[in-house]
C-alpha cells in the first residue's frame, strides 16, 4: 500500500517547521512542563497545513489502496499502547500523523475509493470537507436562537433551499408553514418523528394506551425503524413488517397495508405510524407514497418518508415521480451526506407541523442563555433529541453555494449513467441477470441458476462464492450482497465522488472473469460426477 507522499510529513519532522524548533519537554522536579498552546493562530496554521497536505495526498493516492483491509481483530489494539501518554512526546502531532499513515490507514475500509461499490456513498467533496473544518473551528452550539442567532437562521434558510432543490411541497418548508432541521442521521429523524406521532396520538386516546399502539413498515424497511420503535416504547410484537414480493419490485403494497391496519383496528389496537421508503437499502425499492397515505389517512396515522439514499436524486426533475403524493405526508428525511457532497454527517428532516415535534421534544426549563421572546424564533433544542448540536448548516450552505443545484444534478446523473452502463454490461452477458429494476445508481444482479448445477437450489451458494472471489481481488472492486425474495444477489452501488467510467468497467471485468473461473470449475466437477454416475449405471 502506497502511503501519502513524504513531503506532507517534512514539516512535522522538524526539518523546516517554519523556523520553529520543537520544544523538548524534560520532566524534572526543578522544571515545570510548559503550557501548550491550545488555540494559537500560528500553531493552528502550521498543523493545519500538515493535515491538508496529508488529506490531499491521501486522495491523490486513493487508487493505490485496497478498498477493504485484510486484517484480523485486534490488529490495531496490539500496536498501540494500553494507556494514553501522561505528557506529549516531542513533535507529538507529527508522530500521530505518521501513525495515521502507517497504522490506521492500512486498517480502514476506504469509503472514498473509486472502487467502493458495496454501500451507498458517504459522499465527499473539497467544499464539504472544508466546510466541516470551518464548522469545527468556529465550534458554536446552536441549541437556541439566542445561543447562535446566525447559525439558527442559516439552518432555516438552508433547509428551505434544499427542500426547494428536491422539489418538496411548500407545506414541508418554513416558507409554507412547515419547517425542518439538520440532524446526524436518518435514524434520528425517524425517532424524532415517531415520538412526535406517539405523543400526538396519546394526547387523543390517553397515555395508558401506549401498549395498544401499532407501527407499520415493509420487510425492506431499514432496521433503524424497528430500533426507533423499541426506543419509543412500542411493543416489539406491534411493529408490523408487511411482506413484499419480487413481482412488485419489493415495494410496500397499499392493499396489504390496508388489511393489516383494519385487522389491528378490529382487534382493538391503534394504528400510529407508517414508515414508507423511497430507495430501500437492499434494492432501492420505492413505496407508492400517495396510495399509502390514502390508506393511512382514515386512521389518523402519521406517515414518514425515509429517503436516506434516494432523496438526493430528487434534485433531478426526472426522479420527481418517485415521491408522487408527498404532499400528504407528515414528515420526510434524507441524508445529504450520502449523495449530495455534504460529508458526514448531514441528515435533513422536514415536518408539516413543527408544533407536533416541539410538543414532544420541547424543554421548558430555564437556561443561562434565555430564549428570545419573539414569536417566530426557532429554538432547535425543541426540534430534535439532542440539546448540544453541530453547526451543520454552514457546511451544507457552502456546498449549495459552491456547487449549485445544477452541479449537484450533474453529480447524481453521472453516477446514474455509470450504473446504467454497468447494468447494460450485465444484461449483455447471458450468464447473468439483473434481479430488480434499476431506479437510481444501484444494480442488483446475480449469476443465473443453471439446471445442470442444481438450479435455484444451488444458485445462492453460487453467487455467494462469486461475491467472495470478487472481493478477494486486492485491487478491488468491493461489492456487497442482499437476500431478497429468497435470492442472494450482488449489489453494485455507484456513488463515490472519485468513481469514473473506467472503474466501473474494471469492476465488471473482475466480476466477469471470476464468474468464468467459477463456472469452469463447476463444469469440470459436473463432468466428473456425470461420468461417475454413468459408470455406476
| The pLDDT of residue 170 | 97
Asked if the structure places residue 98 within a domain, the reply is yes
What are residue 305's phi and psi, to 5 degrees? -105, 120
CA 431 to CA 201: how far, in whole Å? 53
CA 443 to CA 223: how far, in whole Å? 21
Confidence bin at 374 (pLDDT 50/70/90): low
| The pLDDT of residue 1 | 41
Tell whether the model's pLDDT for residue 3 goes beyond 70.
no
- Cell 428551505, located at residue: 160
Mean pLDDT of all residues belonging to the chain: 90
Q: What is the pLDDT of residues 118-136, one digit of tens each?
A: 999 998 999 999 999 999 9
| The pLDDT of residue 391 | 95
Confidence bin at 522 (pLDDT 50/70/90): confident
110, 141, 165: which is the final residue of a domain? 110
| The pLDDT of residue 276 | 98
Confidence bin at 10 (pLDDT 50/70/90): very low
Confidence bin at 284 (pLDDT 50/70/90): very high
Q: What is the pLDDT of residues 492-509, one digit of tens each?
A: 999 999 999 999 999 999
Confidence bin at 529 (pLDDT 50/70/90): low
Rounded to 10°, the helix 392-428/126-138 angle is: 150
Q: What percent of the chain has pLDDT over 70?
A: 90
| The pLDDT of residue 242 | 97
- Cell 432555516, located at residue: 156
Asked if the structure places residue 275 within a domain, the reply is no
Asked if the structure places residue 465 within a domain, the reply is yes
Q: How many CB atoms lie within 10 A of CB 74?
A: 8
User: What would the mean pLDDT of 246-274 be, rounded to a whole number?
Assistant: 97
Q: What is the pLDDT of residues 345-355, one digit of tens each?
A: 999 999 999 99
Tell whether the model's pLDDT for residue 363 goes beyond 90.
no
Helix (H, G, I), strand (E, B) or coil at 485: coil
CA 472 to CA 481: how far, in whole Å? 14
Confidence bin at 383 (pLDDT 50/70/90): very high
Tell whether the model's pLDDT for residue 24 goes beyond 60.
no
Of the candidates 137, 49, 26, 154, the residue with the CA atom closest to the CA atom of residue 97: 49
Stretch among 301-305, 373-377, 406-410 having the lowest mean pLDDT: 373-377
Confidence bin at 396 (pLDDT 50/70/90): very high
Asked if the structure places residue 55 within a domain, the reply is yes
Stretch among 59-73, 185-199, 272-286, 406-420 having the lowest mean pLDDT: 59-73
Q: CA-CA distances (angstroms) from residue 419 to 323, 336, 363, 434, 440?
A: 21, 20, 46, 12, 8
User: What would the mean pLDDT of 2-13 be, rounded to a whole number?
Assistant: 42
Tell whether the model's pLDDT for residue 14 goes beyond 50.
no
110, 143, 167: which is the final residue of a domain? 110
| The pLDDT of residue 6 | 43
How many residues can be counted in the chain? 537
Whichever domain contains 487, its CATH number is: 3.90.1150.10
User: Grid coordinates in use for 133?
Assistant: 473544518
| The pLDDT of residue 511 | 98
Select the more confidently predicted residue: 70 or 173: 173
Range of the domain at 96: 8-110
| The pLDDT of residue 446 | 97
Stretch among 80-89, 220-229, 236-245, 419-428 having the lowest mean pLDDT: 80-89
59, 76, 110: which is the final residue of a domain? 110
Alpha carbon distance, N-terminus to C-terminus of the chain: 55
User: What would the mean pLDDT of 524-534 be, rounded to a whole number?
Assistant: 70
Tell whether the model's pLDDT for residue 390 goes beyond 80.
yes
Asked if the structure places residue 29 within a domain, the reply is yes
| The pLDDT of residue 533 | 62
Asked if the structure places residue 476 within a domain, the reply is yes
Tell whether the model's pLDDT for residue 419 goes beyond 70.
yes
Say how many domains are in the chain: 2
Tell whether the model's pLDDT for residue 48 goes beyond 70.
yes
Top-confidence range, 145-149, 155-159, 453-457? 155-159
Amino acid at each position: 500500500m502506497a502511503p501519502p507522499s513524504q513531503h506532507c510529513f517534512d514539516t512535522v519532522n522538524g526539518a523546516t517547521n517554519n523556523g520553529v524548533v520543537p520544544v523538548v519537554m524534560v520532566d524534572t522536579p526543578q522544571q515545570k512542563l510548559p503550557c501548550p498552546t491550545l488555540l494559537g493562530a500560528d500553531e493552528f496554521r502550521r498543523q493545519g497545513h500538515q493535515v491538508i497536505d496529508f488529506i490531499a495526498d491521501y486522495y491523490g493516492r486513493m487508487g493505490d489502496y485496497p478498498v477493504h483491509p485484510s486484517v484480523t481483530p485486534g490488529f490495531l489494539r496490539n500496536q498501540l499502547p494500553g494507556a494514553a501518554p501522561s505528557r506529549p512526546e516531542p513533535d507529538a502531532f507529527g508522530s500521530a500523523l505518521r501513525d495515521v499513515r502507517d497504522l490506521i490507514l492500512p486498517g480502514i475500509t476506504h469509503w472514498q475509493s473509486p472502487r467502493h461499490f458495496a454501500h451507498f456513498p458517504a459522499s465527499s467533496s473539497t467544499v464539504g470537507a472544508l466546510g466541516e473544518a470551518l464548522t469545527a473551528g468556529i465550534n458554536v452550539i446552536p441549541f437556541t436562537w439566542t445561543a447562535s442567532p446566525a447559525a439558527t437562521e442559516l439552518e432555516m434558510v438552508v433547509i428551505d433551499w434544499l427542500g426547494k432543490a428536491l422539489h418538496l411541497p411548500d407545506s414541508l418548508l418554513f416558507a409554507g408553514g412547515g419547517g425542518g432541521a439538520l440532524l446526524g442521521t436518518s435514524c434520528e429523524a425517524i425517532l424524532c418523528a415517531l415520538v412526535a406521532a406517539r405523543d400526538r396520538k396519546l394526547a387523543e386516546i390517553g397515555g395508558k394506551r401506549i401498549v395498544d399502539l401499532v407501527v407499520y413498515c415493509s420487510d425492506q424497511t431499514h432496521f433503524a425503524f424497528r430500533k426507533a420503535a423499541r426506543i419509543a416504547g412500542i411493543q416489539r410484537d406491534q411493529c408490523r413488517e408487511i411482506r413484499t414480493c419480487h413481482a412488485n419490485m419489493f415495494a410496500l403494497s397499499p392493499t396489504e397495508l390496508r388489511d393489516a391496519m383494519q385487522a389491528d383496528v378490529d382487534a382493538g389496537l391503534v394504528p400510529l405510524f407508517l414508515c414508507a421508503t423511497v430507495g430501500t437499502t437492499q434494492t432501492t425499492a420505492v413505496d407508492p407514497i400517495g396510495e399509502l397515505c390514502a390508506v393511512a389517512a382514515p386512521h389518523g396515522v402519521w406517515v414518514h418518508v425515509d429517503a436516506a439514499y434516494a432523496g438526493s436524486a430528487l434534485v433531478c426533475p426526472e426522479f420527481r415521480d418517485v415521491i408522487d403524493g408527498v404532499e400528504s405526508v407528515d414528515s420526510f428525511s434524507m441524508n445529504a451526506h450520502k449523495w449530495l457532497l455534504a460529508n458526514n454527517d448531514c441528515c435533513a428532516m422536514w415536518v408539516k407541523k413543527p408544533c407536533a415535534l416541539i410538543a414532544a421534544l420541547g424543554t421548558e426549563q430555564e437556561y443561562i442563555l434565555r430564549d428570545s421572546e419573539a414569536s417566530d424564533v426557532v429554538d432547535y433544542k425543541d426540534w430534535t433529541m439532542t440539546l448540544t448540536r453541530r453547526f451543520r448548516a454552514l457546511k451544507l450552505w457552502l456546498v449549495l453555494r459552491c456547487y449549485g443545484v445544477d452541479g449537484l444534478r450533474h453529480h447524481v446523473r453521472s453516477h446514474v449513467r455509470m450504473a446504467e452502463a454497468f447494468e447494460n454490461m450485465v444484461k449483455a452477458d447471458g450468464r447473468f441477470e439483473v434481479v430488480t429494476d434499476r431506479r437510481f445508481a444501484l444494480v442488483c444482479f446475480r449469476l443465473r441458476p443453471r439446471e445442470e448445477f442444481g438450479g435455484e437450489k444451488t444458485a445462492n451458494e453460487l453467487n455467494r462464492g462469486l461475491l467472495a472471489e470478487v472481493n478477494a481481488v486486492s485491487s478491488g472492486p468491493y461489492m456487497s450482497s442482499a437476500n431478497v425474495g429468497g435470492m442472494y444477489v450482488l449489489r453494485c452501488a455507484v456513488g463515490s465522488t472519485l468513481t469514473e467510467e473506467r472503474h466501473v468497467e474494471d469492476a465488471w471485468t473482475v466480476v466477469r472473469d471470476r464468474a468464468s473461473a467459477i463456472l469452469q470449475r463447476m463444469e469440470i466437477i459436473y463432468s466428473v460426477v456425470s461420468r461417475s454416475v454413468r459408470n455406476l449405471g
